[in-house]
Amino acid sequence: MPRPELVRGDDGVQRCGWSAGDDEYLRYHDEEWGRAQHDPTRLFEKVCLEGFQAGLSWITILRRRPAFREVFHGFEVERVAAMDEDDVQRLLEDDRIIRHRGKIEATLGNARATLELDRPIDELIWSFAPETPRDPPRSFADVPAITPESNALSKELRRLGFRFVGPTTMYALMQAAGLVDDHLEGCFRSGPASALRSAVG
């Protein structure tokens, strides 16, 4: 059966249907997804974890996020950039994370690329935020997979040496970090972008 567009929780609050059925998804929906994130470390983390998510469900990554944060030193860019082949081999044996050599190596490479940027990564990413917020989507079918902005962000990051940053992955980043608001109309979190773009830690 198709998933419902909106669900009403035991607390009487109406939410996007994808948040139902898992407490961690519910918390993520209510507290993180779509809220403006400007912290450079957390944005670097999102770039990396969205890359790990490619081909998988986000809940798979979310449940492993504590382990990802542990093995990648809290996604502190300088420490990740200093990791080497011995670290890659160690992580390939750690079943708490996604053991994909290409994605692990991309995380290290993306950290090094971040250190080479001529401006902070948060400024770079937010420079691709849409200038005009659109109306809240009424259904899942109204939510795009790629936008001109996510395509442009993807091209720029790849030009700068980042990997696993395709336009679909970058649109997921834009949703998660609050550059766009894709909470469905009727969800308690849906609203004007200006109401959502207060920074969160």
Residue 33 bears catalytic tag: no
Residue 142's SS3 state is helix
The answer to whether the beta carbons of residues 137 and 27 sit under 8 Å apart is no
Which residue is catalytic, options 5, 45, 50, 149?
Answer: 50
Which residue is catalytic, options 32, 58, 76, 156?
Answer: 58
Which residue is catalytic, options 5, 18, 25, 28?
Answer: 28
At 14, phi and psi to the nearest 5? -90, 130
Residue 126 bears catalytic tag: no
The answer to whether the beta carbons of residues 169 and 53 sit under 8 Å apart is yes
Residue 28 bears catalytic tag: yes
Burial of 143 (0-12, 13-18, 19+ CB in 10 A): middle
Structure tokens at 95: 């079943």
Which residues belong to the active site? 28, 50, 58
